[in-house]
């Protein structure tokens, strides 16, 4: 069974802290996505990666194919980073045929 | 360049009515995905369409649900004879082609009373 597990489920941080969200999956994948869902419900694609590391501003995503694990890091966190972060994987079907994790709800306090 | 547009943003239907959800992809995108997010649950893939073709409908419920993406106009997700269990947020996403990122709409929140 293809599963995507995220941890932690909930995370509270103080402004400025370094944050890590983890994602594990059970079988080989073609790509892994990190998504951000805002309190209003809209979804933004942050990263799509199949190997190595990607960086965009204060966000960094890494993936270890051998260990079937990915991390999303947020440096110098800010209250506007408060959102649900969702990991999703595609297993070789179409690019958007994704298996989603349940999400990590992040709250950054000022 | 407008993003992915979904409408309506909120839709209320009584049990047994039909719900039509519309998704206009980003300009130049010919691939559309639909997803459903049930309350307190994660997102789930429903269907993948290209213009005039259903490519993958492995996530669609077998009955009452259908989707189309005509040559002209938005993609439509249609739910016939809605039931309370259909209450959810429905998202669509579009992309340009293999390897390009997905762009999501803001979703349609369907409430069945």
pLDDT in tens, A31-77: 999 999 998 788 999 999 999 999 999 999 999 999 999 999 999 99
Given an 8 Å threshold on Cβ–Cβ distance, is B42 in contact with A41? no
Percent of chain B at pLDDT exceeding 90? 82
Q: Which of A10, A37, A56, A97 to mutate to test the interface with B (most CBs of B within 10 A)?
A: A97
Given an 8 Å threshold on Cβ–Cβ distance, is B43 in contact with A88? yes
A76 to chain B, any CB pair closer than 8 A? The answer is: no
pLDDT in tens, B53-105: 999 999 999 999 999 999 999 999 999 999 999 999 999 999 888 778 899 99
A92 pLDDT above the threshold of 90: no
Given an 8 Å threshold on Cβ–Cβ distance, is A43 in contact with B98? no
Calculated CA dihedral for residues A93, A95, A98, A101, nearest 10 degrees: 130
B1 pLDDT above the threshold of 60: no
Contacts of A96 in chain B (CB under 8 A): 31, 33, 45, 48, 93, 95, 102
- The pLDDT assigned to A2 comes to 61
A1 pLDDT above the threshold of 70: no
Three-class SS of residue A80?
Answer: helix
Given an 8 Å threshold on Cβ–Cβ distance, is B48 in contact with A35? no
Given a contact cutoff of 8 angstroms between Cβ atoms, the answer to whether A10 and A19 are in contact is no
Given an 8 Å threshold on Cβ–Cβ distance, is A101 in contact with B58? no
Structural tokens at position B64: 């009452």
Residues 12-71 of A with CB under 8 A from B: 33, 35, 40-45, 48
CA distances from B38 to A72, B43, B87, B88 (A): 25, 7, 7, 5
- The pLDDT assigned to A39 comes to 83
Given a contact cutoff of 8 angstroms between Cβ atoms, the answer to whether A91 and B90 are in contact is no
Calculated CA dihedral for residues B25, B27, B30, B36, nearest 10 degrees: -10
| Mean pLDDT computed over every residue of chain A | 93
pLDDT in tens, A7-26: 999 999 999 999 999 999 98
């Amino acid at each position: 069974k293809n599963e995507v597990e995220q941890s932690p489920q909930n995370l509270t941080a103080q402004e400025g802290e370094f944050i890590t969200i983890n994602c594990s999956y059970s079988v080989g994948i073609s790509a892994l996505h990190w998504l951000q869902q805002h309190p209003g419900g809209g979804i933004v694609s942050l990263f799509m990666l199949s190997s190595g590391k990607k960086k965009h501003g204060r966000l960094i995503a890494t993936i270890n194919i051998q260990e079937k694990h990915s991390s999303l890091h947020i440096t110098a966190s800010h209250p506007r980073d408060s959102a649900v972060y969702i990991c999703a994987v595609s297993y070789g079907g179409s690019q958007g045929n994704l298996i989603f994790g349940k999400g990590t709800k992040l709250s950054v306090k000022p | 360049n407008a993003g992915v547009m979904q409408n309506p943003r909120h839709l209320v239907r009584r049990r047994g009515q039909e719900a039509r959800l519309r998704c206009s992809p980003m300009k130049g995108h010919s691939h559309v995905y639909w997803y459903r997010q049930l309350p307190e649950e994660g997102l789930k893939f429903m269907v993948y369409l290209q213009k005039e073709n259903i490519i993958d409908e492995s996530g669609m419920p077998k009955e009452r649900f259908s989707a189309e993406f005509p040559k002209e106009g938005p993609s439509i997700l249609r739910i016939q004879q809605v039931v309370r269990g259909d209450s959810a947020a429905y998202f669509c996403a579009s992309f340009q082609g293999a390897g390009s990122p997905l762009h999501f709409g803001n979703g349609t929140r369907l409430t069945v009373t």
